[in-house]
Chains A and B, each alone.
Chain A
Amino acid sequence: MATFRERLKPRYATLGIIFLSVLGVLFLRAWSIQVINADRYAAAAENNRVREIAIDAPRGRILDRNGNPLVTNRATLGVTVAPGAKDDEDMLYRLSVVLEMPLDDLMERVSSTREAALKPRLVALDVPMTVVAYLAEHETEYPGVEVSVVPVREYPHGSLAAHVLGYTGEISEESLNSGEMEGYVLGDLVGKSGAEWQFESVLQGEKGYRRVEVDAVGSPRHVLEEAEPVAGRDVVLTIDLEIQQVAEEALERALVEARADDFLNARAGAAVALDVHTGEVLAMASVPTFDPTLFIGGISTRDWEALTAEDSEYPLNNRAIQAAYPPASTYKAITGMAGLEFGVTSLGHSYYCAGRWTGMGEQWSKFCWKRSGHGSIGFTRGVAESCDVVFYEIGYEFYKRDREELQEFARRFGVGSVTGIDLPGEVSGRVPDAAWKAEFNANYPEYRQWLPGDTVNMVIGQGDLLTTPLQMAAVYAGIANDGDVMRPHVLKEVLDSRGEAVRAFEPEVAFSPEVSPETLRTMHNALLAVTESGTGRSALRGFAERVAGKTGTAEVAGKDDYAWFTAYAPADDPQYAVAVVIEQGGGGGAVAGPAARKILAALLGLPVEHVQATDVSR
């Protein structure tokens, strides 16, 4: 037995080594996890149990100049579907029945690629409590479907001033990655256009957060730390709700009238009203417009396509600042003043209009809009009757001086550059000159030369000249403001949480063209003659205040004429300037004039009436 015991010894040693190794390995592993890597795992455990839940700050409201809310907030119940559920057709079908929405709409919203990849898609808003209760009870039958409280923008006046106000949407991954949007996370609502975009930093507010301890399934056990959100600040705009309403209705009515008058393509237009002394924008309208509520919870692809379709007239465009048109005869205020300033024309100057002008030679003859001719005519009547021949003569004189003085003078009024209004997307328009033409036609050598016709076209606001409605309103406001063009703006002030103004926009001069008082007075009188005895008289017949203004009828290749009317009033103590454009609406006096009259009436507190203008003039 002793020898047998001896034989067993190495075998026991093997067994002992095995279990010692086992315990040794476990010891070393525990050492590695609990001592060497303890910090990492401690952090992971904290990360497990602590959740920081962001509390969105209510976005600031947007008010009109009198404190009427234009954009507010409300909380509503929304249904979201995880994008992963997009192939669960059976479930989506049942959900579409519950939500009483077409299956196609639902599918399209769930599979929308316009949002962040993993973010649940909002498919329905303002869901009734009965539906919420049903979904809660049948949770397991609707995987990926959730009901949550969604803060949304509310528009008490529908689409009113939609272009100025803009819309909100989820922050795009692009702008998140650009680094310009610090403090934002995917899914945050941000302003995408208009004032919502422009004043994003003020409207946004500061998020609050709640640190909670959660269990494995994510249910909060208790709150560890909390910070209340700071609401965004209210923004007061210079827009006047009532004037804005009048402006939009006036544009819509003008389109109806134009179509009734056989201008069947009249479908778009814009209007701007400015305070001539401060640059405040009291109304800015653009038609066709859009319904900003479409963007709540993410716009559907179908709606987006409808708003951006080629035949849609692009309702998202704010034509008042984002569309540039030939200003036509409204531009004669500038070229007329230029003529006076540079001595090319004067009050005493006499012209003869035979309806046809051959100043550049017989083969380059041009016509006045009035083919029968104005006969013998001076400067003031030339403006009042918008006689093209008078301005052809002025323009040709400038061409012969060969100094681009016309362009320079226009630029002093801000034509060809942005006004710097506090709204995104403003375009600068164009003041064509020899250098521009040479570069524009770089590939067409035969068209690079600046010709007398270019100047002669430009002088009547045609040719390659382009201006925005805001620019023309600003120019007329400048004439009314003794020459100084004030910077147009929509921000009046920013309110703090108690409703006190913490930041107000200070009026500033945008352009100082330094025109002599005589020239301004002469032009003022000529513009007054337009409405009292000239091309604008029928639009302003019986108007209680004297108005200085100008009609314009732009010829656009392949389109019907574009109607313009620009004016300021009261003529004796100017306060407001207005510009109206109706695309393919026909004659300025007949179509744009009545619309401008209504806006002026609203600005001056006069009764707003529709007049049937009978002018056939330009």
Chain B
Amino acid sequence: MSRVSQRMTARTSGLRKWANFPLLLTVGFLLLYGAVIVHSATSGFGSGAAMFQRQLLGAGLGLVALCVMWVLDYRMYESWLGPLVVLNAFLIVSPLIPGLGVEAKGAQAWLEIAGVRLFQPAEPAKLITIVIMAIVISQYKGVIERPRDVARITAFLALPFGLILLQPDLGTGLVFIAITMGMLVVGGLKPKWFVLFAVIGVIAVAGVFRFGLLQQYQEDRLLVFIQPDRDPRGAGYNLEQSKIAIGSGGLTGKGLGQGTQSNLNFLPERHTDFIFSVLGEELGFVGTVLLLGLYLALLMVALEISTSSRDLYGSLVAVGLISMWTFQILQNMGMTMGLMPITGIPLPFISFGSSFMLTNLAGTGMLLSVWARRSGV
């Protein structure tokens, strides 16, 4: 405790050095943008006002988490590898424990204690996975060649990945993989290994199809992705309606709260997974470009922070966050526009959902923590 406060006093000499204003500004705009869109998307619901308040509460809690993670030295938990692995595994498995978990949309994803729905443990698990993988990969000091090293890294990834499939939540599992792959690029994995991973990935996907390991809805979604007009009234319906919403927004959109696709319920899950469709319909291409611009700023700043880290471990934490966001942006926006298959991945800083919001803001706090302790400060 005393060490932490010592460091803090040392850094307060200049707020400019301690705080990364471009990041704070970008995240601030994203939060504001998200609040506007969520408000528009939920206003048509009977409980819309309460939902919006809950979202604001989530963002408020997220800002607290951001501050906590900012203040805490990210290096503090570099030595907690073992406990973090156990905590991560417990979090992921916890919804499956009778009496703790609640089922929602076909997966045991929620933690509930004494009848109170708390949060989705998979969300904080993303951050913990980032830290775990950053610790493990940074141990190789930028060069990963030997099969046993690759095997060890793979094992650390396989544990959370395997456990999340039990819920089942393939989407979050893919986030874990994306996080790890991004870190391995910077962490020094040799290209031949990436090729091998790609081959294994293709074989795995083929195997999953061949042996019918997917749930029916997952298979339908994938088939629809491959053949969009396959079943416009059934599995393809959501995608078709989403594209109609986004496209009908045109250049400047129909105006906030004026989206017919959204207000007349043609859009499914419009406040969570399909929030971008609401944005596209109501604010048009201009709104889309604004969002992509904010994401570009976020990723650029995060990259800047990563390169400025005083150690490889801190760089990798930042790279993990970049990878997580990049993948989620691609997956979410991509699915609403028919570029990616439909999975339940929300849009960072925009989608409705407290656990998700909390996680992204805590991640932002970790970035700030890396920045505050960068080299040369």
Binding site for B on A (CB under 8 A): 1, 4-5, 7-8, 11-12, 14-16, 18-20, 22-23, 25-27, 29-31, 33-35, 37-38, 40-42, 44-46, 48-49, 213-217, 221
Contact = CB atoms under 8 A, between A and B. Distances in A.
Contacts of B25: none
Nearest to A25: B339
B39 interface: no
Contacts of A217: 265
B22 interface: no
B102 to A, nearest CB: 26
Q: Which 8 pairs show the lowest CB-CB distances between chains A and B?
A: A41-B247, A45-B248, A34-B285, A38-B250, A216-B265, A215-B264, A42-B248, A30-B288
Contacts of A19: 299, 322, 326
B244 A30 contact: no
A33 B261 contact: no
Contacts of B289: 27, 30
A26 to B, nearest CB: 5
Given A8-B186, A15-B185, A216-B264, A38 B251 contact: yes
B182 to A, nearest CB: 6
Nearest to B327: A22
Nearest to A42: B248
Given A8-B315, A41-B244, A215-B264, A34 B250 contact: yes
A8 B295 contact: no
Nearest to B188: A11
Nearest to B326: A19
A41 B333 contact: no
**Which one of A33, A38, A42 has the highest number of Cβ atoms from chain B below 10 Å of its Cβ?**
A33
A45 B260 contact: yes
Given A4-B142, A41-B243, A41-B248, A29 B339 contact: yes
B280 A30 contact: yes
Interface in B131-179: 141-142
A33 B296 CA distance: 21
Contacts of A45: 244-245, 247-248, 260-261, 266, 281
Interface residues of B, number: 48
Contacts of A26: 292, 329-330, 333-334, 337, 339
B30 interface: no
B contact face: mostly helix, strand, loop, or mixed: helix
A15 B260 CA distance: 39
A221 B333 CA distance: 30
Interface in B281-329: 281, 284-285, 288-289, 292, 295-296, 299, 303, 306-307, 312, 315, 319, 322-323, 326, 329
B291 to A, nearest CB: 9
Contacts of B265: 215-217
B246 interface: yes
Contacts of A31: 285
A42 B250 contact: yes
Contact of B251 (A20, A25, A34, A214): A34
A391 B315 CA distance: 124
Contact of A30 (B186, B241, B246, B266): B246
A48 B284 contact: no
B363 interface: no
B249 interface: yes
A35 B252 CA distance: 10
Contact of A7 (B142, B296, B333): B142
Interface in B171-221: 182, 185-186, 188
A23 B250 CA distance: 19
B142 A33 contact: no
Contacts, number: 134
A15 B142 contact: no
Contacts of A40: 247
Nearest to A214: B264
A34 B280 contact: yes
A268 to B, nearest CB: 53
A602 to B, nearest CB: 62
A31 B288 CA distance: 9
Contacts of B284: 34
A251 B306 CA distance: 105
B264 A33 contact: no
A25 B142 CA distance: 30
Nearest to A24: B292
29 contacts: A4-B142, A4-B312, A8-B307, A8-B315, A11-B186, A11-B188, A14-B185, A20-B296, A22-B326, A23-B292, A23-B299, A26-B292, A26-B333, A27-B289, A30-B285, A34-B246, A34-B250, A34-B285, A34-B288, A35-B250, A38-B247, A38-B249, A44-B244, A44-B247, A45-B281, A48-B241, A48-B266, A213-B264, A216-B264
Given A8-B186, A38-B248, 16 more contacts: A1-B375, A4-B142, A11-B188, A19-B322, A23-B292, A23-B295, A27-B292, A30-B280, A31-B285, A33-B280, A33-B337, A41-B246, A48-B264, A49-B266, A214-B264, A215-B265
Contacts of A221: 264
B314 to A, nearest CB: 12
B296 to A, nearest CB: 6
Contacts of A5: 307
A224 to B, nearest CB: 12
Contact of A49 (B246, B260, B299): B260
A113 B148 CA distance: 70
Nearest to A18: B326
**Which one of A4, A35, A45, A216 has the highest number of Cβ atoms from chain B below 10 Å of its Cβ?**
A45
A15 B322 contact: yes
A30 B250 contact: no
Interface in B19-71: none
Contacts of B338: 29
Contacts of A34: 246-247, 249-251, 280, 284-285, 288
Nearest to A20: B296
A42 B247 contact: yes
A48 B260 contact: yes
Nearest to B264: A215
Given A15-B303, A26-B329, A33 B247 contact: yes
B333 to A, nearest CB: 5
B330 A22 contact: yes
